[in-house]
Structure 1
Amino acid sequence: MPGPPGLFMRFLRWFCQPKLLSHIEGDLLELYHERLRRQGKRQADLRFIGDVILLFRPGIIRSAFERTTQTPYGMYTSYFKIGWRNLLRHKGYSLINIGGLGAGMATALLITLWIYDELSFNKYHDHYNTIVQVERSETWDGTVEVNGIHTTGLGSLLRGDTYDALFERVAMVRANLEERVVAVGERKFTQQGYFMQPEGGELFSLRMKYGSRDGLKDMKSILLSASLAEKLFGDIDPVNQVVTMDAQAELKVMGVYDDLPRNTTFHEASYFAPLDHYLGGQGLETWDNYHMYIYAQLRPGINVARASAVLRDIMLPHLDAEHLQHKPAVFLQPMSRWHLYSQFENGISVTSERLRTVWYYGIIGGFILLLACINFMNLSTARSEKRAKEVGIRKSIGSYRLQLIQQFYGESFLMAGLSFVVALALVGLTLPWFNAISDKALTLPWSSSIFWLACVGFTIFTAFLAGSYPALYLSSFSPVKVLKGTFRAGPAASAPRKVLVVIQFSISLMLMIATLVVHQQIQFGKNRASGYTREGLLSLRAASPEYAGRYQVLRQELKNTGMVEEMAEANYPVNSTKGWNGGFSWKGQAIEPSFNTIFVSHEYGKTVGWEFTEGRDFSRDYVSDIQGIVINESALHLLGMKHPVGESLVWGERGTYKILGVVKDMIKGSPFEKTDASIIFLSENDMRWLYMRLTPTVSPHEAIPAIQHVFATLIPSAPFDYTFVDDIYAAKFAAEERIGQLATLFSVLTVVISCLGLFGLASYVAEQRTKEIGIRKVLGASVTSLWQMQSRDFVRLVVIACCVALPLSFLVMQRWLEHYEYHTTLAWPVFVFVGGGALVLTLLVVSYQALRAAVTSPVKSLRSE
């Protein structure tokens, strides 16, 4: 028989006082059926709706506090007691839930710490909100390029009175992280640091352990980091002590600053020395020496956009026509954008790879927490028939649905609280390892009240997320059906669980595919030809003045040991992209792009093992080679020469250079990017980098002591800080390998969490079907058919997850690979391997419970029947 509109019936039951509801509802139903018989359904429905609306008035509407006031404090205590007893009664279920949720929360917490570290980059500095870096945009071949390296002339102009209204202070810093030998007596260490103007100490708010921030006013002064000061002087106050730099300059220590945190731009600096010392008294008004970073602190009330507008054309009056054709424009980049927004494309700030990584990790952390919560939801709702009688009895004795929801949320909060304790323990145990693979120095701020408030909020959020569906689902059971014994969780009840399992495995599969693709990309880069022989090649920085004029002596002595096959020197490391110069011309036509320029000795090619595609190497047999050059394939492509050998390039006032040969591109920057166009010059002057090719038949363990002995004899003041070029090259993959390691960790974790949930779900499904399995066995069903019956549904869900995850993974990873100029291609075996692996893993996890149920004696399962 047709009934009244369900929506308005539910509305009546929602607002009507319980003591009046049965009488009012009965009268309305009687009237409705009478009208239905006489006037038809349409009129009966309209009259019923009107009656319900008229009843919505004081005296009939229940009190807004009626439900909550019936749940005293003791009832909440009871909820937690019941929840605790349920945990103890169902230990397996509790372990799976707490373990899975704890692992998910631990991962989310680790990723949150990592993201916070990235987002708080440089916030260590007191003037974080007002510090800016001066940047310059120029147009080359129609493309706008951005560069932060400037002339001392621009820095001096900004430091003058003209722009005093904009800036509190301005400081120039030498653009390169300078590696120098710092010594006190026999204690010698090769350290990295910066040369900067005195205002830099206050600008970057160095936290001084000893001395003063403005200690760089004297040209012969230096500020040391706390760790370097301890190496040189121990625990004493070293202020006014003298250190020697590069066995030549004596500098007075004017202060010791606390080591800068790893999440700051200058964290690698072990010292700050005066810029005047580096310049050696050179003037600061020059406009053609591009080797300075310029930093400034804005005055209160001055914003970045306004200051940038004022400074835009500041360089134009000081540049010649050649520079003006590139349309240089100055702008300011605030410190808040140095780390995550430092990448520009055609002059526009774009999302950097690091910012994308922050987003990727955030999404992964959210997914892993979601997987753990899905486990909780699935296992809680799978136990619905076990909790049905409890719900039915509570409702029959007067419990409102809201009270039941509160009870189930209470159990969820209890579970989330215990899981968070497990998560904190896991984070404490794994944090050192996580720091090692992520190249961070993360710590848990135990004493921070904000941290604990965030933890409480995180736990509450997780409890609500995990407990929402179970609380709403379990509290909806009808007490009549439950107590009559007719309640069964039908197909509609299991549908949400199936959807959640599909979501869970889709996420796991996507992470697994992403992990494999990342490792494929890393291997692709490693397999790319580097253009030289890295194995058995040592590099050493010749920083000490004692190296001057000793190259040939060193070379001969090292070769005499039989441990060194050849030795060479260069002005830059073989794996460095430093040294860019322009001003070249060919056949009277200016060549606009700049080239990576390298100066080397005659033996460089033989030492590093570069490969010629045409022409020849430098030779001591030809005196004219001092005006010869070697170019790489990228430079040849840029020049557009068909027959380069014998052609001549003019480099400004330096003269004309003849091309002797073309070598294969040597990877100096990232193996995933295009190689720089390079021109290699011959030089007979002393250079800062030495390279030694070990004799192939000699092991490094034999060679190093012999080489060190030669250096100790000929250059006793310099530390023997050598590096294998192969190790330096391997470091180029560090960022990708960190992503790969973390992706592996996260993907394995998602698979474990998913399998835990699947295992628990399979166990409850097997338990629910115990009698059915017993009857089937009595009727002659085989173990194999019973196993297939129980496994079929789970396999079907994983197949659906594969259909969802595989195409999505392809699209996402294809876009990720497009960020690399050199990248691997997505191959179908990866997707087949992951999809097939997921099916095999599912069968392994489910089969345990399925076979266990299938081999159980039907006597046990049917005993009560």
Structure 2
Amino acid sequence: MISNYIKIAKRNLIKNKVYSFINIAGLATGLAVAMLIGLWIFDELSFNKSFENFDRLAVIKQNQTFNNEVTTQSSVPYLMGEEIRNKYGSDFKHVIMSSWPSTRILAFGDQKISKTGNFMEPGITEMLSLNMIKGTRAGLKDINSIMLSEETAKALFGDHDPIDKVIKVNNKQDLKVTGVYKNIRYNSDFKDLAFIAPWELYINNEDWSEKKTNPWRANMFLTFVQIADQADMDKVSAKIKNVKLNAVTPQDAVFKPEIFLHPISKWHLYAEFKNGKIAGGSIEFVWLFGIIGVFVLLLACINFMNLSTARSEKRAKEVGIRKAIGSLRSQLITQFFSESLLVVALAFILSVIFVISALPYFNEVADKKMIFPWKEPLFWIVSIGFSILTGLVAGSYPALYLSSFQPIKVLKGSGFARIKLGSFAAVPRKVLVVVQFTISIILIIGTITVFRQIDFAKNRPVGYDRNNLLMVAMNTPELHGHYDAIRSELLKTGVVKEMSQSSNPTTYIAAINNGYEWEGKDPATQGNFATMAVSHDFGKTVGWQFKEGRDFSRSFSTDSSGVVINETAAKFMGLKNPVGSIIKADGKPYQVIGVIKDMIMESPYKASFRTCFFLEYGWASVFNIKINPESGSTEAINKIEKVFKKFNPAAPFDYKFTDEQYAKKFGEEVRIGKLTSFFAVLAIFISCLGLFGMATFTAEQRTKEIGVRKVLGASVANLWQMLSKDFVVLVVISCIISAPVAYYFLNSWLQKYEYRTEVSWWIFALASVGALVITLMTVSYQAIRAALLDPVKSLKSE
């Protein structure tokens, strides 16, 4: 009996090829989108869960109040770890001080690579439950040791055993390899941890001027913790709240430092803080794509149900005949459900093929390394279960409703059956078409708005010229103290227009300091400013745009006590005539010699931060090189590399283009825009498939009507208008509904950006016109095809 049902179902699919293709392709696309989004959401929700102690790990953060505004940061003072261990040690299993991730040059023999890692206290290996390939987790006890990731060890030593080999770090420290650990999973905040070196080595070999003078003032380090097995995260967090406040000087206590634990479970999804409280993060995109996935799958299911119910109405007489010759209702129900489930099964198989094919591209766009979950029972249970549910819901109308008809009434084509199969039966389908296009139009509007916001920020004046600007990190001692010689050699090449050095690149702020005073300052105002040390020629290299005053100059020896400020700083201090004004930094007076336009150094979506630039060579960590625009990039890089090899032959030439680093600031928004547009295109494709199927069905239903109208003189244009009108009306209704819904959600989304575009009316108009054009293109083929049909052929059966 089952084989007979399947055989009949297969014959119906083959007989109605167009409808079968639309049903299977549309549903397969929807299922594939849902699977991709499901995999993405699972990857996001499982971030950092690869660590055995996941539920007990946290990072210490602090809130500080500046000018009645609470700011949150992960940087903490040097003594934080020691203080917590001494006073609250019973609440913690591990308290780990760490540097921020930094790039170092690792060298073994002739092999030299640049890798990112941290200097950490030894307990980090147990805290992160590192999976050791070589050595043990106790490998950081020796101050001159280093542990490498599997990938890093492979790059340096190939297939040779790295244990006890000595590598040179930044060409100045010889460290012995004491352990190799498996690469940390990509969906982790520690994914780039290519090496771990001892924290003690870091502290002893770096010049931290405030480590001895005021160790609680400088917020420069990270503190990771693992709470005790029986401890409660919230209670421990509340207990350590005042650990810094109780230790700082009265001068720094005015900033009301408040320490708290931020669990590792929230690092990725809840990374944004506002006024000291969690304000969101990637969790917003999890919800966004979750909703999109549901809606896209809903579109596919709507198509499936629409076409299934529409086609089933043509089978009313089949039901009557089969019941008249003895078929039981239960047999008819089973038959209809088997046909529906067969279509779903084929769509599911096709969707799996789609996902496997699209996953590499999807990973690239989403910056993921997901694999198809062949061995995950939950994935198969959910996917197959949902597919079966979809088949049962879609097949319920023909199975339960049509099978209930009385044979006499169906075969006579009158009475109850005819009423139900008339115009009323089309109402639910029309509503579903409106829902389909409402969702599709909202996605179109959303995609346009996301990319418009990105372009708006990209076109924002950045206050300097980042084109042809190169950044070279001063990682090795050979590059320090030779500024004039290196600059002279670079200028001689002819490919370098200007060169300078600075304490950090132009693409981020490395230090924010307080303790600033100026004439007319309100005593209640906390003067915290971003601080950047630069050399002579920095302004010419990056293209400072002066509003007032001048640049640092070798002609003025007093410039060592001069400062250049940005316009936001001048406005914040309320300086009407800033040039010549005196600013005190930690009691030392500096004279303002110039005011520049704001440089966008942090997020291009935020207002510029007040910044002071000091002439100081001792803080340098980056070379800034302006390539001559008349030189080719390849030629310029080759000549610049030769100069650096001359001064630093033992290190690889590691450089970055400033415009590329700046472009990375748009990375998250660009990914979201690409993913949204990808899903929007698929949503429109699914909607158009459904529309094409409904147009085909409508044309078939009205074949004889079209023939009669042609005989009576109707033109092809008249018939095209008649057949297209109903669908256009439905899409117009969708446009009207989608506009306020899209405006509400997109306007709310834009509020998270300080520097943002507006949701303009033309976006709605463009999306609506686009939807109408797509509708007409989809419907017109079937409408014109039906209108061109010879009326003799369509009427001869009468």
TM-score per shorter chain, which class?
A: over 0.9
**Partner of 1:317 in structure 2?**
246
1:317 and 1:832 map into 2 onto residues whose CA distance is 60
Q: 1:435: how far off?
A: 0.7
Question: Of 188, 193, 202, which aligns to 2:112?
Answer: 188
User: Which SS does the other structure have where 1:344 is aligned?
Assistant: strand
1:841 and 1:259 map into 2 onto residues whose CA distance is 48
Q: 1:698: how far off?
A: 1.5
User: Which SS does the other structure have where 1:114 is aligned?
Assistant: helix
**Partner of 2:305 in structure 1?**
377
- Maintained 8 Å contact 2:133/2:179: yes
- Maintained 8 Å contact 1:526/1:671: yes
1:765 equivalent in alignment to 2:698? yes
- Maintained 8 Å contact 1:377/1:470: no
The equivalences for 1:839-854 within 5 A come to 839-854=772-787
**Partner of 2:599 in structure 1?**
666
**Partner of 1:550 in structure 2?**
482
1:146 equivalent in alignment to 2:72? yes
User: Which SS does the other structure have where 1:500 is aligned?
Assistant: helix
- Maintained 8 Å contact 2:533/2:619: no
1:738 equivalent in alignment to 2:671? yes
1:461 and 1:259 map into 2 onto residues whose CA distance is 40
1:637 and 1:399 map into 2 onto residues whose CA distance is 87
- Maintained 8 Å contact 2:75/2:219: yes
Partner deviation per Cα, 1:624-658 (whole Å, 9 max, x = no partner) = 001101111111121111111111111114x1111
Which amino acid counterpart does residue 581 of structure 2 have in structure 1? E
Partner deviation per Cα, 1:340-393 (whole Å, 9 max, x = no partner) = 1122222222222x1111111111111110011111111112213322123334
Question: Of 732, 735, 753, which aligns to 1:799?
Answer: 732
1:780 equivalent in alignment to 2:709? no
Question: Of 250, 265, 274, which aligns to 2:174?
Answer: 250
Question: Of 449, 462, 471, which aligns to 1:539?
Answer: 471
1:781 and 1:474 map into 2 onto residues whose CA distance is 36
Question: Of 273, 278, 301, which aligns to 2:202?
Answer: 278
1:159 equivalent in alignment to 2:85? yes
1:567 equivalent in alignment to 2:518? no
1:345 and 1:405 map into 2 onto residues whose CA distance is 57
- Maintained 8 Å contact 2:26/2:689: yes
- Maintained 8 Å contact 1:544/1:717: no
**Partner of 1:49 in structure 2?**
none
The equivalences for 1:231-242 within 5 A come to 231-242=155-166
Which amino acid counterpart does residue 23 of structure 2 have in structure 1? N
Q: 1:77: how far off?
A: 4.5
**Partner of 2:611 in structure 1?**
678
2:405 and 2:579 map into 1 onto residues whose CA distance is 87
Question: Of 98, 106, 122, which aligns to 1:173?
Answer: 98
2:392 and 2:4 map into 1 onto residues whose CA distance is 20
- Maintained 8 Å contact 2:464/2:599: yes
1:664 and 1:694 map into 2 onto residues whose CA distance is 23
User: Which SS does the other structure have where 1:165 is aligned?
Assistant: helix
- Maintained 8 Å contact 1:196/1:275: yes
- Maintained 8 Å contact 1:504/1:754: yes
- Maintained 8 Å contact 2:533/2:617: no
Name the stretch that deviates more: 835-844 or 219-228.
Answer: 835-844
1:524 equivalent in alignment to 2:456? yes
Length-normalised TM-score, structure 2: 0.96
Q: 1:406: how far off?
A: 4.2
Which amino acid counterpart does residue 759 of structure 2 have in structure 1? L
Q: 1:614 to 1:474 in 2, by over 3 A?
A: farther
Which amino acid counterpart does residue 524 of structure 1 have in structure 2? F
1:287 equivalent in alignment to 2:212? no
1:599 equivalent in alignment to 2:533? yes
1:455 and 1:264 map into 2 onto residues whose CA distance is 26
Which amino acid counterpart does residue 261 of structure 1 have in structure 2? R
1:397 and 1:102 map into 2 onto residues whose CA distance is 37
Q: 1:470: how far off?
A: 5.1
Name the stretch that deviates more: 806-815 or 229-238.
Answer: 806-815
Partner deviation per Cα, 1:410-454 (whole Å, 9 max, x = no partner) = 322221211111111111111111111111111112123333223
- Maintained 8 Å contact 1:382/1:765: no
Q: 1:231 to 1:761 in 2, by over 3 A?
A: same
| CA-atom RMSD in angstroms | 1.9
**Partner of 1:719 in structure 2?**
652
Identical counterparts, % of pairs? 46
Q: 1:403: how far off?
A: 5.4
1:457 equivalent in alignment to 2:390? no
1:357 and 1:470 map into 2 onto residues whose CA distance is 39
Which amino acid counterpart does residue 38 of structure 2 have in structure 1? T
- Maintained 8 Å contact 1:549/1:686: no
User: Which SS does the other structure have where 1:280 is aligned?
Assistant: helix
**Partner of 1:498 in structure 2?**
430
Q: 1:657 to 1:790 in 2, by over 3 A?
A: same
- Maintained 8 Å contact 1:181/1:190: yes
**Partner of 1:264 in structure 2?**
188
User: Which SS does the other structure have where 1:376 is aligned?
Assistant: helix
1:287 and 1:859 map into 2 onto residues whose CA distance is 95
1:859 equivalent in alignment to 2:792? yes
1:448 equivalent in alignment to 2:381? no
Q: 1:800 to 1:291 in 2, by over 3 A?
A: same
1:698 and 1:470 map into 2 onto residues whose CA distance is 72
**Partner of 2:338 in structure 1?**
410
User: Which SS does the other structure have where 2:652 is aligned?
Assistant: coil
Which amino acid counterpart does residue 166 of structure 2 have in structure 1? V
**Partner of 1:329 in structure 2?**
258
1:392 and 1:683 map into 2 onto residues whose CA distance is 93
User: Which SS does the other structure have where 2:315 is aligned?
Assistant: helix
Q: 1:785: how far off?
A: 1.1
1:481 equivalent in alignment to 2:404? no
1:130 equivalent in alignment to 2:63? no
Q: 1:325: how far off?
A: 2.2
Partner deviation per Cα, 1:463-493 (whole Å, 9 max, x = no partner) = 3454445545544544332122224421110
Question: Of 571, 578, 582, which aligns to 1:648?
Answer: 582
User: Which SS does the other structure have where 2:90 is aligned?
Assistant: coil
1:707 and 1:351 map into 2 onto residues whose CA distance is 44
User: Which SS does the other structure have where 2:54 is aligned?
Assistant: coil
User: Which SS does the other structure have where 1:446 is aligned?
Assistant: coil
1:402 and 1:328 map into 2 onto residues whose CA distance is 73
Q: 1:224: how far off?
A: 0.7
Q: 1:495 to 1:694 in 2, by over 3 A?
A: same
Which amino acid counterpart does residue 172 of structure 1 have in structure 2? M
User: Which SS does the other structure have where 1:252 is aligned?
Assistant: strand
What are structure 1's unaligned runs of at least 5 residues? 1-73
Q: 1:240: how far off?
A: 0.9
- Maintained 8 Å contact 1:783/1:855: yes
2:397 and 2:556 map into 1 onto residues whose CA distance is 83
Which amino acid counterpart does residue 84 of structure 2 have in structure 1? L
- Maintained 8 Å contact 2:581/2:591: yes
Q: 1:470 to 1:576 in 2, by over 3 A?
A: farther
Question: Of 84, 87, 92, which aligns to 2:10?
Answer: 84
Which amino acid counterpart does residue 759 of structure 1 have in structure 2? F
2:401 and 2:754 map into 1 onto residues whose CA distance is 51
Q: 1:163: how far off?
A: 2.5
User: Which SS does the other structure have where 1:326 is aligned?
Assistant: coil
Question: Of 341, 357, 367, which aligns to 2:285?
Answer: 357
- Maintained 8 Å contact 1:373/1:465: no
Length-normalised TM-score, structure 1: 0.88
- Maintained 8 Å contact 2:84/2:243: no
The equivalences for 1:600-615 within 5 A come to 600-615=534-549
**Partner of 1:15 in structure 2?**
none
Q: 1:731 to 1:775 in 2, by over 3 A?
A: same
1:548 and 1:351 map into 2 onto residues whose CA distance is 42
Q: 1:203 to 1:497 in 2, by over 3 A?
A: same
1:635 and 1:741 map into 2 onto residues whose CA distance is 37
**Partner of 2:768 in structure 1?**
835
